[in-house]
Amino acid sequence: MNIGIEAQRLFRKKKHGMDIVAAELICALQKLDTENNYFIFVKKNKYKGIIKETPNFKIIEIPHAPYPIWEQILLPLFIRKYKLDFIHFTANTAPLFLSIPFLVTLHDVIFMETFNFVKGSLYQRLGNLYRWFIVPRIIRKANFVGTVSNTEKNIAIDRFPFLTDKIQTYYNAVGRLYQSNGMEPNYGKIDKYNINEPYILALGSSDPRKNTKNIVKAFLTISEEFPDLKLVITDLERSVIYKMMGKERKKDSLKNIITLGYVPNNQLPYLYRNARLFMFPSTRESFGIPVLEAMACGTPLITSNITSMPEIVDDAAIKVNPFDVNEISEAMRVLLTNNSFRKELILKGTERVQFFSYELTAKKWIECYKSLYSEKYKKSTEKLSIKTL
């Protein structure tokens, strides 16, 4: 088979969610499949270390352009140069006009729920508008759609009933960074970030569904009981926290909050492993990779009791109502004071994370590729038979 995979943002410097999932899937496919030919379509960039070519994996670099132009015009032009049997689009969207079968990974339909075309940066607003227009049309045309949890599959089917017979779950997992046992906890100062133990870790975001404001409010509720405790928040600047809290708190009340801005992915495991606990009480997730990362690092965690979180963590976390600050703060208190319960959650997390594997997911995708190829070959044979009659 000649298989195309779109991974447009694979080589960009600051990788997040979908970029990392695409990279890990491709690495797993490289490990498992040495027979079929793969053509990886990416946007040209200098940060290339994450994936390397092998005899049956060829990287196709396409020049930079605004994303809609890159995807709708440049990408189809490059696809035509290769005799692909089909192509897999890894990040929700795809060209509207293709002459070959295709598959789509639909990570979520959150952008269809919020209609957020007013808030956020111009880039974010245009991106939401683009997805809102493209995705319903693409998933209707797609030969097959994969999503990342049973929760999200059911949500997608509720919104788009025509997906019922062609959507399946392909779980995310933790990447190779989290599969090493060589990173021992360093219960002292993390020199690069000048952080002293103890601290709670949260991956911050200005997106309300990440619930950063309630994390901060819950932390402030217990901060007098634990005066040496810090709250470390990645991916946000301090000014965003001040603005987020508004008049609810004075600046001096936030002195034990440390904001780090963007943290490279290869440094996150150390932040997880040194944390007393990890916070992820999101109000809406299709999967929630960070909860698996925390489990893999032996860090007890608090997450939400809604959307996909119960499906992913099972009983390996404290699950709270993400809208109830008191419930969140009480969960913090429990994990900070009850050592036997901490150890129990750490053990359960270590066991739970083994359920998720990019190799298992890649095997499922390979089976899907074979099925789609067989269907294409069958149709081609039927057409040929009709012509010869």
According to the model, what pLDDT value does residue 144 have?
Answer: 97
Q: Same domain for 228 and 371?
A: no
Q: Same domain for 124 and 245?
A: no
By CB neighbour count within 10 A (0-12 exposed, 13-18 middle, 19+ buried), where does 264 fall?
Answer: exposed
Quick check: 307 pLDDT over 60? yes
Task: Tell me the pairing of strands 57-62 and 86-89.
Answer: unpaired
pLDDT in tens, 164-187: 999 999 999 998 888 754 455 554
**Angle at the Cα of 273 from the Cα atoms of 268 and 274, rounded to 5 degrees:** 100
Q: Same domain for 309 and 371?
A: no
Number of domains present in the structure of the chain: 2
Q: Same domain for 43 and 61?
A: yes
Radius of gyration of the chain (CA): 22
Find all residues with CB under 8 Å of 215, minimum gap 6, and list them.
Answer: 202, 231, 233, 279, 281, 328
pLDDT in tens, 185-215: 554 556 677 787 799 999 988 788 899 999 9
According to the model, what pLDDT value does residue 123 have?
Answer: 62
According to the model, what pLDDT value does residue 386 have?
Answer: 41
Q: Same domain for 50 and 191?
A: no
pLDDT in tens, 97-121: 999 999 999 999 988 886 655 555 6
According to the model, what pLDDT value does residue 138 have?
Answer: 97
Quick check: 9 pLDDT over 90? no
pLDDT in tens, 232-252: 999 888 888 888 887 666 656
Q: Same domain for 57 and 121?
A: yes
> Which residue has better confidence, 322 or 261?
322
According to the model, what pLDDT value does residue 208 have?
Answer: 85
Q: Please name which of 78, 55, 99, 56 lies closest in space to residue 8, comparing C-alpha atoms.
A: 78
Q: Mean pLDDT check: name the lowest of 3-7, 46-50, 269-273.
A: 46-50
Q: Same domain for 197 and 234?
A: yes
According to the model, what pLDDT value does residue 384 have?
Answer: 38
pLDDT in tens, 12-30: 777 778 888 999 999 999 9
Give the SS3 label for residue 35: coil
Q: Same domain for 67 and 163?
A: yes
Between helices 339-352 and 325-337, what is the axis angle to 10°? Answer: 100
Quick check: 46 pLDDT over 70? no
- Rounded to whole angstroms, the Cα distance separating 204 from 233 reads 5
Q: Please name which of 339, 345, 337 lies closest in space to residue 225, comparing C-alpha atoms.
A: 337
Q: Same domain for 156 and 243?
A: no
Q: Same domain for 224 and 302?
A: yes
Q: Tell how far CA 339 is from the center of its chain.
A: 31
Give the pTM: 0.90
With pLDDT > 90 as the criterion, what percentage of the chain qualifies?
A: 68
Q: Same domain for 196 and 265?
A: yes
- Split at pLDDT 50, 70, 90, the class of 385 is very low
The whole domain housing 92 covers 2-173+357-388
CATH of residue 303: 3.40.50.2000
According to the model, what pLDDT value does residue 241 have?
Answer: 85
Q: Same domain for 363 and 285?
A: no
What residues does 169 pair with on adjacent strands? 147
